Chains A and B, each alone.
Chain A
């Protein structure tokens, strides 16, 4: 089977019995074996477990009705998998083996999907390049000297390189959409509360959301239909009814109102990205959509607000990694028999166990929450967050979706920005506001640079209106052929 087959093509073949789940799984594992040494998409490849799952799918009586029958899936390594180590790409969890599955993993498996491995990512999902991984950077299949984006970089690489037609990521400030854009894929961040986070290693709890990477919008709709829904184990998951996202596709763009925040999208955007964005809007207009100029006046402050809120929450969430209940514990100095006191053990464990970016964010978050600075930073950021939400609420009175580039630049070179964290944070300018406002947003392929690097278009929708968002994305996809282009890999 073509390694770049879509989720639906794989699923249909297994449902109809033209391919077995074991055959599909074996091919995916061979593809991973051939390309993972170069691309570093996976921290752990679950060969034996995957083949066992595939055999179980082939034996299921209800195989013909499984929405993800035999579909190989890469799971970001910050989602718990029972009996399979889950590291968050951190040394502190290098040997952590969860005793339970994340709800999204259980849902995928119940739907017939086969987990082929745990995907590389930035440590604890903190980063925009996948360079902050204790297991080394993942590489972009379109140009292996470049980053795939982050933090869900390995998930994006797995799908872009034809290792699996589906991957799960998490998105706190753009960590699904930005790597999807830089790797030429569809990446969906659902509404806050739409998908369960039980079993997701928490980074910033008021922002984190789980979502799929796929090759097409239809595949994203199929995946979301499996992932979405209330989970009693996650108090923030919403009881709102789940729509039929696949049935929502196929609408024409006629009558679709697309908001374009002109002031925002013309700041610091790469020329080729800006041109691809403008051309995408023209495609929509030709297809019958209407463009509406909108203002999101507070969105220009989204980056500072995001880095104040996210680091504050991270400093609290990561307090649990203390070398007592799970994970790494540093050895006492002084050789055999030496013992630290408890506080020294905590401090040494966390200093040795966490990487530089995670420590930087814990430090920043601890500072902005500390006595005397809480009001000036954390509270102030939460107030501006309210203004950002209101900007979108106001915009959605006159538009159905908001369009922006996903990333201001195409994939940059590995190492180019590591010395300047602030420069790295600016990569998130167009993505963080959807998290701050809790809105669903999707990145879809909208072109390539002259150097053949993918460019992404981001659409943001109303709360719990993934149907309109996916339909709008699908209307564009049908008018273009970007999704059929695939990277050329060595030894493929």
Chain B
């Protein structure tokens, strides 16, 4: 759970696990490079651990708080043809995005 004492380098298996979460099929060279670079960056970033944040609330957003609700009114949005126009594979007739098979 704690970041203290975490290794400054990542193993190949760790990088592959992160890449799987991120849906990135990295090649061997990338795995090796990112293992080192992510380690270096996190080692540097570990300096935040030395700052006392006891009782400090997190800042997730700096947006000024205002009325979040809008009127529940139907309005014009993209038509189907426009929404499908940029798809690498779509069925314009059926109005569907097409994807490769999901279940083998």
- Interface positions of A (Cβ within 8 A of B): 95-97, 99-100, 192-193, 206, 232, 235-236, 238-240, 298, 301, 303-305, 307-308, 315, 319, 322-329, 332, 339-348, 350-351, 354, 356, 359-360, 362-364, 366-367, 370, 372-373, 375-377, 379-387, 389, 421-422, 425, 436-438, 463-464
Contacts and interface: CB of A to CB of B under 8 A. Distances in A.
Interface of B: 1-3, 15, 18-19, 21-27, 30, 34, 37-38, 40-42, 44-49, 51, 53, 56-64, 66, 68, 70, 78, 82-83, 85-89, 97, 99-102, 104
29 contacts: A95-B86, A193-B63, A206-B60, A206-B61, A206-B62, A238-B66, A304-B45, A307-B45, A315-B22, A319-B23, A324-B88, A340-B100, A341-B104, A345-B100, A347-B24, A351-B27, A363-B18, A375-B1, A376-B2, A376-B49, A377-B45, A380-B49, A382-B60, A387-B53, A421-B40, A422-B41, A422-B44, A425-B41, A436-B59
Chain A interface, >50% SS class: helix
Nearest to A354: B24
B48 A96 contact: no
Given A99-B85, A238-B64, A386-B58, A351 B25 contact: yes
Contacts, number: 179
B57 A370 contact: no
Nearest to A369: B21
Chain B interface, >50% SS class: loop
Contact of A366 (B21, B59, B61): B21
Contact of A301 (B42, B47, B100): B47
Nearest to B41: A422
B63 A238 contact: yes
Nearest to B64: A238
Contacts of A319: 23
Given A350-B23, A381-B48, A422-B40, A366 B18 contact: yes
A384 B62 contact: no
A241 to B, nearest CB: 12
Nearest to B44: A422
B29 to A, nearest CB: 11
Residue in B25, B40, B66, B104 with the greatest tally of chain A CB atoms within 10 Å? B25
Contact of B58 (A323, A350, A379): A379
Given A301-B51, A308-B48, A422-B44, A360 B62 contact: no
A425 B40 CA distance: 12
Given A206-B61, A323-B88, A384 B45 contact: no
Contacts of A301: 47-48, 51
A235 B68 contact: yes
A347 B20 CA distance: 8
Nearest to A321: B23
Contact of B1 (A193, A308, A360, A372): A372
